Amino acid sequence: MRLANKVAIVTGGSRGIGLAIARRFASEGAAVVVGDLDLEAARLAAAELEKLGVGAEAVKCDVAQTEDAELLASHALNRFGRIDILVNNAGITRDRLLLRMSESDWDVVIAVNLKGAFNCTKAVAKTMLRQRSGRIINIASVVGLIGNAGQANYAASKAGVIGLTKSLAREMAGRNITVNAIAPGFIETKMTEDLPESVRQAFMSRIPLGRAGTPEDVANAALFLASDESSYITGQVICVDGGMVM
């Protein structure tokens, strides 16, 4: 029970990587608040987490909206009395080559992936600063490190998340709050299931470990960053990518 008595918020926690993280945290004793655009799916996730014997709550929220992020944090605080861990996981893609990328393709990806992480972090910051402890885990991507044709908006948002991570790690270290990022590589989720076979094969050929990752692979890294075992680690980007980027 590495997270006994801890309270975690996981954005985009109703499926994919976010759900795997929520499950992993709950299995280690954390109460989990699942914030997601899709309230029905979030409710199903929370009901599943409760079966693991922890408190769980579903909150409808669009992380791109400041008020929604504030509502998410206040729900967690009102129900559980503290916030120990925030996982900024909600993310979207609108992949197109630059000349076909519309202004709205750009704006919405930056709003959800980058501003969403800012909004939610700001919403929990006061509580964590007051508690003089906290863990913030941002789900970035390897493409935020190396770029990817067709993903200028997404890669820029994830590179932004890495800059946000390092800046806030410096800002909040004095209050015992760590801020780290995980950069997943190619993980089997809804986000990647619709990719054309040629793109999938191109990714596979670049993975030394020779397989796609699972949401659980990412969740294991998140658990480490949320646990006491990582208390001397901040401002880092951990690639969970089968060796794709090294």
Query: Annotated catalytic sites, by residue?
Result: 154
Contacting residue, 44, 71, 110, 191, with ligand NAI by CB under 6 A: 191
Residues 216-235 that bind ligand NAI (CB under 6 A): none
CA distances (Å), origin 59, targets 34, 63, 76, 188? 6, 11, 9, 25
| Nearer to ligand NAI (CB atom), residue 15 or residue 24 | 15
Contacting residue, 184, 219, 223, 242, with ligand NAI by CB under 6 A: 184
Site string for ligand NAI, 42-71 (x = CB under 6 A): -------------------xxxx-------
Helices 215-226 & 16-27 angle (0-180, nearest 10): 50
Q: Are 187 and 17 in contact (CB under 8 A)?
A: yes
152 binds ligand NAI (CB under 6 A): no
φ, ψ dihedrals at 134, nearest 5°: 170, 160
CA distances (Å), origin 154, targets 110, 126, 175, 229? 7, 29, 31, 31
CB 16 to ligand NAI: min, Å? 2
Residues that bind ligand NAI (CB under 6 A): 11-12, 14-18, 36-38, 61-64, 89-92, 112, 116, 139, 141, 184, 186-187, 189-192
